[in-house]
Amino acid sequence: MINNLQDTTTLSNGVKMPKFGLGVFKVEEGPELIHAIKFAIKHGYRSIDTAAIYQNEEGVGQAIREGLQEAGISREELFVTSKVWNSDLGYESTLAAYETSLTKLGLDYLDLFLIHWPVEGKYKDAWRALETLYKEGKVKAIGVSNFQIHHLEDLMKDAEIKPMVNQVENHPRLTQKEVQAFCQEHGIQLEAWSPLMQGQLLTQPVIQAIADKYNKSTAQIILRWDLQNGVVTIPKSTKEHRIIENAAIFDFELSQADMEQLDGLNQNLRVGPDPDNFDF
């Protein structure tokens, strides 16, 4: 049973990563962002996920510093993720991008640094840079985002260190079971972005029926499904009641039948770009 918000999964290198966190995709710099992160930390969240392309690392860093101080916890108790953007994929440029992210965040290290998208012909050099950062102790764990099985296979042919995490779009309409099975087989932790399908699943009838049964919200059902599937999840929210509600999923367990019903909603449907066909 996954008991609380601070529960962790152990990555292949022994680093402990919270199973649940806060995403800040498309949250602009400003008071709303800072408030959301501080509020999340206050309410027990211990994982914050950002990226260079979100253009909010400075605000995230400020919120982390203030939030840690107010909650009376140390930097080591927080798990912070950022990602290198496509235009910076290359050995030297990825090393430089890491330093830029670190400076903007105002941190001494990152817990997890990811390659954001598998840009063909570029991600291997970027991966070498991540391996360097990892070996130098500048980052606790390294991984990728939006990688399909063939991208992972290609990367691992030449990699010294295999990715510890693969963060992908994952929700009941896009269960990615093959990718997950591959990742499990290779000791790579799967992590879900857009776990609620950017809100599109919140009124889905099957999920609503399950939610009514457990006296929970549809969002809580989906996020609980993630955790029981062994998938790390980082729902995005800036609203206090949602930040609390999203995390209130540790007092119930979905039955096997309900898990299977949720799995059965898969249509291989994406809200984000297709990792095999994107042009940015």
- In percent, the amount of the chain with pLDDT more than 70 equals 99
Given the residues 54, 98, 123, 134, select the one marked as catalytic: 54
- Please determine, for residue 248, whether its predicted confidence score (pLDDT) is greater than 80: yes
Question: What are the pLDDT digits (tens) for 209-235?
Answer: 999 999 999 999 999 999 999 999 999
- In percent, the amount of the chain with pLDDT more than 90 equals 96
Tell me the pLDDT band of 164, cut-offs 50, 70 and 90. very high
User: Is 143 part of any domain?
Assistant: yes
Active site residue 54: yes
Question: What are the pLDDT digits (tens) for 170-180?
Answer: 999 999 999 99
User: Is 84 part of any domain?
Assistant: yes
User: Is 248 part of any domain?
Assistant: no
**pLDDT: is 28 or 256 the higher one?**
256
pLDDT at 1 (0 to 100): 62
pLDDT at 27 (0 to 100): 85
Question: What are the pLDDT digits (tens) for 29-84?
Answer: 899 999 999 999 999 999 999 999 999 999 999 999 999 999 999 999 999 999 99
User: Is 251 part of any domain?
Assistant: no
User: Is 265 part of any domain?
Assistant: no
**pLDDT: is 3 or 250 the higher one?**
250
Structural domains of the chain, count: 1
Tell me the pLDDT band of 3, cut-offs 50, 70 and 90. confident
User: Is 256 part of any domain?
Assistant: no
User: Is 108 part of any domain?
Assistant: yes
Average pLDDT, the chain: 97
Question: What are the pLDDT digits (tens) for 71-88?
Answer: 999 999 999 999 999 999
CATH number at 172 reads 3.20.20.100
- Please determine, for residue 12, whether its predicted confidence score (pLDDT) is greater than 80: yes
**Crossing angle of the two packed helices 123-135 and 91-105, in degrees rounded to 10:** 60
- Please determine, for residue 22, whether its predicted confidence score (pLDDT) is greater than 80: yes
DSSP conformation letters of the chain = ----TT-EEE-TTS-EEESB-EE-TTPPTTHHHHHHHHHHHHTT--EEE--GGGT-HHHHHHHHHHHHHHHT--GGG-EEEEEE-GGG-SHHHHHHHHHHHHHHHT-S-EEEEEE-S--TTTHHHHHHHHHHHHHTTSEEEEEEES--HHHHHHHHHH-SS--SEEEEE-BTTB--HHHHHHHHHTT-EEEEESTTGGGTTTT-HHHHHHHHHHT--HHHHHHHHHHHTT-EE--B---HHHHHHHH--SS----HHHHHHHHTT-----SS-BTTB---
Q: Considering the entire predicted model, what is its pTM? A: 0.97
User: Is 142 part of any domain?
Assistant: yes
| Structural domain containing residue 152 | 13-199+231-237
- Please determine, for residue 2, whether its predicted confidence score (pLDDT) is greater than 90: no
